[in-house]
Amino acid sequence: MRDDSEKKPVTLEELNQHLEEVRKLQPVVTSQAKLPGDAARAAIDFASATAVGTGLGYGADVWLNTSPWGLLVGLLIGTVAGVTLMFQEEARAAKRALKQQQTMNDKL
């Protein structure tokens, strides 16, 4: 067993100095980990945009009797729209992470 009576009490300045050392050792958070909901939303956005584009292209094929060109163009447009939605979601997530990082820095 150790004898606590021989140890001197820790001062507030020593505790503050130790806390600053620990804060310096912690890695700086550069981005927030993506939540599973964000990934699911991106996947659903991509799939739904592709499906809507393909459906509209197929509808145009039936209406104009231009098979398979309407379907292919609709698939292409839907895929481009889905990828665009995914990039927009990633940009929103990056903005949220940056805002959270700035908030954490302001608290320090």
**Burial class of 83 by CB neighbour count within 10 A (0 to 12, 13 to 18, 19+):** middle
Q: Is a pLDDT exceeding 60 seen at residue 102?
A: yes
For position 14, what pLDDT does the model report? 85
Q: Considering only CA atoms, which of 4, 89, 74 is closest in space to residue 43?
A: 89
Average pLDDT over residues 62-74: 93
Residue 6 amino acid letter: E
Average pLDDT over residues 15-40: 71
For residue 26, give the 3-state DSSP assignment: coil
Spatial separation of the C-alpha atoms in residues 77 and 85, rounded to whole Å = 12
Q: Which residue has the higher pLDDT, 10 or 69?
A: 69
Q: Nearest 5°: phi and psi at 48?
A: -70, -40
Which region among 24-28, 52-56, 65-69, 91-95 has the lowest average model confidence (pLDDT)?
A: 24-28
